Structure 1
Amino acid sequence: MKKLVLAVFCLSIFSFQAQNIGHEKSAFAHTFSIVARDTVTGEMAVGVQSHWFSVGSIVSWGKSGVGVVATQSFVNPAYGPQGLELMENGMPADIALAKMVDEDEGRAFRQVAFLDVNGNVSAYTGDKCVQAAEDIQGSNFSVQANMMLNENVVPAMANAYAANSDLPLAERVVAVMLAAQEAGGDIRGKQSAALIVVGPEKTDKSWEDKKVDLRVDDHETPIMELGRLLKVHRAYEHMNKGDLAVEANDMEKALQEYGTAEKMFPENLEMKYWKAVALANSGRMEEARPIFKKVFAADENWKEMTKRLPASGLLNISEEELDTLTK
């Protein structure tokens, strides 16, 4: 009986701590971040950088058709899922954040920003956050930082957001993060970064929830690497569209999409290869053949791959053409 009482007591204590995480039990994520919404597409994003390992695993949260959250400083991760739940249930960002801050015993050490699907935005910086610490809100965005080298970082982020309004949301967020780093950034340096983008409409398909989901967990120049990965992501968006076109037997569309991806990364064998396949399927073997030859010379496995494609209906050429191509 005593063991049962002890177990119940321990469970109660654990439950209380999960709801009221004190700063001494919190993960460190002293950092700079941005939450933002594109007024044209309705997409919402979180971008974050820190001198801390895998910052994206605890700071950035988002859900399509609901909103985004950045929770940092001495992180209370509950702000992410619980904040999204409040906003999904119809609570505006400012009211949702105020409610959570009011219930958080470690509020003085928190820095948090909420943005909902309607563009309402709110942020909170506790008075115990390490200086330089600040947050600035504007139309459909909030930028916030703590433990920065100087007081110029957050204003530089707000200025960069305004100056890059012509960019897609993800690229705009990266530009803001670069501006933060150029203005001084984290006083400790840099280590990890993350970027998520969610859509304007709710979806019950979890695999479609995040439009962009990129993390750099440990890198000498994490924002630069994040920007590189975003470019790769954009190229593979074209590759995916090319694959869908192949499924629909629209080889001209496939050729266009694969060609666009290849122009972005001209040395990528995968992109070259599928462009060659699309050319071959369009009856343009003379154009396809030198591309296949170059790919095969770089990696013989692509030749074996080519032999397997006809059985799957992905390469529609004659047996003679296939033999000539792969001999």
Structure 2
Amino acid sequence: MKIQVFRFLILFISFLTIQGAAAQNVYKDKFAHTFSIVARDKVTGEMAVAVQSHWFSVGSIVSWGKSGVGVVATQSFVNPAYGPNGLKMIEGGKNAVETLEYLVSIDEGKDVRQVAMLDASGKVAAFTGEKCIVSASHIVGDNYSVQANMMLNDKVVPAMAKAFDENTDLPLAERVVKVLLAAQEAGGDIRGKQSAALIVVNAEPVENPWMDKKIDLRVDDHPEPLLELERLLKVHRAYDHLNKGDVAMEKNDMALALKEYAAAEQMFPDNLEMKYWKAVTLANNKKLQEALPIFKEVFTADQNWKELTKRLPKSGLLNVSELEFKQILDL
């Protein structure tokens, strides 16, 4: 009973907020003609939004998501309210189809909108207004929707759907980036390219809001935004291996720690920061002899890391004996 009351309150508040936005029509002049995908991994339950546009900072208005709830892409002549208000309605008990149908029905500017929504259960809905600039269309598939407007040709959206269906072996983030790359290869935005974004949220609700997005990457202005987005995703994965290595060290699982560190270094062999903190972690776990060559390599490349090392004991980040500390600084 309490859950039903809570859901009713969320829906009622959402209704008032949405009606106010629709009546004022405050978002009519914002636009992001673009291509995007909303998708869900059927195995992990993770949900993602990925987008590219020839418009500055497309990720700031197009992509929305909340763990355990769903994801939204709102584009063309953008009404950003579809994002937060759509997520509120889904969280309140409506599915993606019901939510999008309602929001479109009260939108005075619906003819120039393009929106896609996906909820945590895998239901998907998409809408392309009849006045969206051609080539404009969408395809709703199994746990995903791909949509685009102002494209060079009508091959872009089918190429996106094909890429998603064919890359089932990839993690969700890498899979949706492949979809964007396929869109660009098929012709992409008729104006060119400028910005891109990717968010991935969890299958289940999270306790703290800062844990909501598993991946949150934006390329606001770049001559090759998709290549940069792909690079940033690789950096994200490398640091994820580094963090897992640290956790394994804390659990005294040296074999797993070294495996994770090696994976990180293989992805970015010239990254001094990854090497440095690996050395610090080894030293803190009584593996000084393994750490010393790494410290030496880092210090040789940049003496500022040695200066930083002098400051770590006071902050409790390097816990070694005075003799061991001297060994490190003498490198």
TM-score by length of 2: 0.89
Q: Which amino acid aligns with 2:172?
A: L
Q: Structure 1 residues 24 and 196, CA, compared in 2 at 3 Å: closer, same or farther? A: closer
CA contact (8 A) 1:49 1:177 kept: yes
**Alignment check: 8 A CA contact 1:23 1:74 kept:** no
Identify the match of residue 213 of structure 1 among 216, 222, 226: 216
Counterparts of 1:15 and 1:302 in 2: how far apart (Å)? Answer: 52
Could you tell me which of 22, 44, 47 is aligned with 1:44? 47
Q: Confirm or deny that 1:25 pairs with 2:28.
A: yes
**1:187-210 CA distance string (max 9 Å, x none):** 000000000000111123101100
What is the CA RMSD across the aligned residues, in angstroms? 2.1
2:323 aligned partner: 320
- Correspondence for 2:91: 88
Unaligned stretches of 5+ residues in structure 1: 1-13
1:300 Cα offset (Å): 1.5
- The correspondence for 1:115, drawn from 115, 118, 132, is 118
Shift of 1:282: 4.4
- 1:108-140 CA distance string (max 9 Å, x none): 000000100000001000000000000001110
* 2:270 aligned with 1:270: no
Question: Partners of 1:64 and 1:197 in 2: how far apart?
Answer: 9
Q: Secondary structure at the match of 1:99?
A: helix
User: Is the CA contact (8 Å cut-off) linking 1:160 and 1:179 kept in structure 2?
Assistant: yes
How far apart are the structure 1 equivalents of 2:113 and 2:323?
68
Q: After superposing the two structures, state which structure 1 stretch, 312-321 or 27-36, moved more.
A: 312-321
Identity %: 68
Cα deviation for residue 299 of structure 1 reads: 1.7
Alpha-carbon distance, 1:318 to partner: 3.0
Is 1:180 the equivalent of 2:183? yes
User: How many Å separate the matches in 2 of 1:20 and 1:143?
Assistant: 29
Which of these residues, 101, 106, 112, is aligned with residue 103 of structure 1?
106
Letter in 1 for 2:190: I
Aligned to 1:191: 194
Deviations 1:49-91 (A, max 9, x none): 0000000000000000000000000001110001011111111
Q: How many residues align?
A: 314
Task: Give per-residue Cα distances to partners, 1:141-173, cap 9 Å, x unaligned.
Answer: 000000000000000000000110100000000
Letter in 2 for 1:268: N
Question: In structure 1, what is the equivalent of residue 169 of structure 2?
Answer: 166
- Whether contact under 8 Å (1:34, 1:47) holds in the other structure is yes
- CA displacement at 1:313 relative to structure 2: 4.6
Q: Report the Cα offset of residue 21 of structure 1.
A: 6.0
Shift of 1:276: 1.9
Q: Of 50, 63, 77, which residue of structure 1 is paired with 2:66?
A: 63
Checking the alignment, whether the CA contact within 8 Å between 2:27 and 2:78 is kept in structure 1 is no
CA contact (8 A) 1:23 1:109 kept: no
Q: Structure 2 residue aligned with 1:202, among 196, 205, 223? A: 205
1:276-291 alignment, distance < 5 Å = 276-291=279-294
Q: Distance in 2 between matches of 1:199 and 1:87?
A: 15
State how far apart, in whole Å, the 2-side matches of 1:273 and 1:266 are.
12
* Structure 1 residue 96, shift from structure 2 partner: 0.5
CA contact (8 A) 1:113 1:142 kept: yes
Residue 285 of structure 1 and its aligned partner are, at CA, apart by 3.3
Inter-partner Cα distance in structure 2 for 1:264 and 1:16: 49
Distance in 1 (CA, whole Å) between partners of 2:252 and 2:289 is: 20
Residues 28 and 78 in structure 2, CA contact (< 8 A), matched pair in contact too: no
- Secondary structure at the aligned position of 1:25 is classed as coil
Q: For 2:215 and 2:264, how far apart are their aligned partners in 1?
A: 17
Measure how far apart 1:307 and its partner are. Answer: 2.8
Distance 1:16 1:209, change over 3 A: closer
Partners of 1:206 and 1:195 in 2: CA distance: 18
Instruction: Mark the CA change 1:176 to 1:159 in structure 2 (over 3 Å): closer, same or farther.
Output: same
Q: Which residue of 2 aligns with 1:227?
A: 230
Q: Which AA in structure 1 matches 2:134?
A: Q
Cα distance change, pair 252–281 in 1 and its aligned pair in 2 (3 A): farther
Q: 2:154 aligns with which of 141, 151, 156?
A: 151
- Could you tell me which amino acid in structure 2 is paired with residue 292 of structure 1? F
Distance 2:276 2:189 in 1: 43
Paired position in structure 2 for 1:10: none
Residue 245 of structure 1 deviates from its aligned partner by: 4.1
Give the residue type in structure 2 aligned to 1:104: D
SS in 1 for 2:126: strand
Change (3 A) 1:297 1:317: same
Match of 1:3 in 2: none
Change (3 A) 1:24 1:212: closer
Structure 1 residue 235 displacement after superposition:
1.0
